[in-house]
Chains A and B, each alone.
Chain A
């Protein structure tokens, strides 16, 4: 029995990960294909990478998307941290249930609904108070912040729930004010969670097509919008090249994060041993 079960688990994992990774690998392999017909192999070539970097439309859209993603992620982390802090540390307060449902609903809300409703809000606001004048980077950023802050809230809230709050209590007992306790104790401890929240918000924003399409104005086409209008007409090899570059960047990021995390884990373990040694 002890032999049979691991075999089952192994095959499940092999099959499952093949399903997850073969499509991504196929994108990369075909990005080096000479043929324009993407899936018909005609020899190795890096032609499409050259073409990609000549495509001003894609480069411009990529730059715009990166800008929006960075601003969005920063805003989402601030809002999400506040919401997560309120939900995890403030106990019962008036409106807690509403706040908690407003931060979890965007996680599953179909994007077409979020996109449409935000656009109608922006149009109504423009008519009533004259802001935001027209639609573009500002409206896309606001829309993205609204639904990515939900992810940050969940991450921060669950980090705070598992965090040992005796340090916070000790600081409070010693007379530190709540704001000081937050900046000196809580924030450094949850910093890794905030970083992963920032990265998640960044990635989601960079990837969003539907909501951005609704709230974008003329001249503010983000990268997913440009990609979508291209792939709607069929496969195109320079999109494969773009995909490969994005996969490479993500892989590099993950490796760096992995190294940093294991290094941090080692320091933590060393600190722990030192603490134990000191106590003895």
Chain B
């Protein structure tokens, strides 16, 4: 139906493409390359699959194998920052005895455990607050008139298009001791001493909730918008109050949206680096910050790799789960 309706516009659009194609078609190389490729058994279909496949294999999957390898390599020899891999060409048996050193180091040093647990806690609490703020917003947008809906949705996405780094930076000016909030409270006389907010865990929570809120709202919105409203009418006809109808119908039906949004917030938040660095205190322990410090400040590539592997192990379950949800969602198709 929509395809047919669109055809006059797309026809106009396609005449341009058609022209380009006709010009291309008269190029001899295009013809013989095609014939030769076919002789090799390379069809267009294989190429369409192979190009992104090989790209991702090389630049997404293989790197993890290298990280794993380096995580199992010796620490001291790796200290010169730009030649850390030299020694893994060496004797395998020797390597194997030293192998688990980096991971044992992670286990023995309390710092890493605390950082991991604290990251999970911070990400978990932030996800909860994102849901607490995001759900009512997504709900209100999904139930607004269709004309306003697009504008409201646009307003949710808009901050996402402006720099993440600068939006986090904005909170420094708001939260610091002589910042916006403290100045306002001092001026109204509610407090006579500035409240210390910057460089605390509170600031990290605010930063994460603020930055990741659109990621929570969008999947929730697309879920709530699809919902069959006649179910609610039926429940009301049967004497169900609005609150009960929400708890019995809307909430359970929106569970896929809640889970997708929560994964989109939780997983990246666990490894967050920018927010704890800019808003948190120097002693705030987040694993992303620890990895960064090991890598850039201590130049200890094997330990940084071991931290990355450990973080991946923590996240593999939520990531695989997210992929399942994502595959189902894109199959059915509503995503921005």
Contacts and interface: CB of A to CB of B under 8 A. Distances in A.
Interface of A: 1, 5, 9-10, 12-13, 16-17, 19-24, 26-27, 30, 37-40, 79-80, 82-83, 85-87, 90, 93, 95, 98-113, 116-118, 120-121, 123-124, 127, 142-143, 145-146, 149, 153-155, 157-158, 161-167, 178-180, 183-185, 187-189, 191, 196, 203, 206-207, 209-210, 213-214, 224, 227-228, 231-232, 234-235, 239-240, 242-243, 246-247, 250-251, 253-254, 258, 264, 267-268, 271-272, 274-275
Contacts of A185: 10, 14
Contact of B162 (A38, A87, A142, A246): A246
A79 B55 CA distance: 8
A231 B163 CA distance: 14
A110 B267 contact: yes
B139 A146 contact: no
Contacts of B84: 123
17 contacts: A16-B140, A20-B210, A23-B170, A23-B174, A86-B52, A101-B320, A110-B271, A112-B311, A120-B70, A121-B58, A124-B66, A127-B85, A191-B13, A227-B169, A232-B277, A250-B158, A267-B9
B257 interface: no
B53 A99 contact: yes
A39 B178 contact: yes
B48 A90 contact: yes
A145 B162 CA distance: 20
Contact of B278 (A83, A188, A232): A232
B274 A228 contact: yes
A22 B318 CA distance: 33
A103 B56 CA distance: 8
Contacts of B335: 154-155, 158
Contacts of A102: 53, 56-57, 60-61
B271 A112 contact: yes
B331 interface: yes
A164 B2 contact: yes
Q: Size class of B's contact patch?
A: 35 or more
Nearest to A177: B44
Contact of B330 (A17, A146, A157, A210): A157
Given A103-B52, A121-B59, A183-B17, 7 more contacts: A106-B60, A116-B308, A149-B52, A167-B3, A207-B165, A224-B163, A268-B9
Main secondary structure of the interface of A (DSSP, over half): helix
B169 A12 contact: no
A12 B167 contact: no
Interface stretch (B96-104, B247-255, B321-329): B321-329
Given A121-B63, A185-B14, A99 B52 contact: yes
4 smallest CB-CB distances across A and B, nearest first, come from A110-B271, A164-B3, A117-B63, A83-B52
Given A82-B48, A112-B308, A116-B305, A20 B159 contact: yes
A5 B311 CA distance: 43
B133 interface: yes
Contacts of B6: 189, 268, 271
A104 B322 contact: yes
Contacts of A149: 52, 55-56
A13 B143 CA distance: 12
Contacts of A239: 166, 169
A20 B180 CA distance: 15
Interface of B: 1-10, 13-14, 17-18, 21, 44-45, 48-49, 51-53, 55-64, 66-67, 70, 82, 84-85, 133, 136-137, 139-141, 143-144, 152, 154-156, 158-159, 161-167, 169-174, 176, 178-180, 183, 210, 213-214, 242, 263-264, 267-268, 270-274, 277-278, 288, 291-292, 295-296, 301, 304-305, 308, 311-312, 315, 318-320, 322-323, 326-327, 329-336
A274 B8 contact: yes
B60 A146 contact: yes
A275 to B, nearest CB: 6
A13 B154 CA distance: 13
B319 A209 contact: no
Given A23-B174, A157-B330, A207 B7 contact: no
Given A108-B264, A162-B333, A9 B143 contact: yes
Contact of B323 (A16, A104, A117, A145): A104
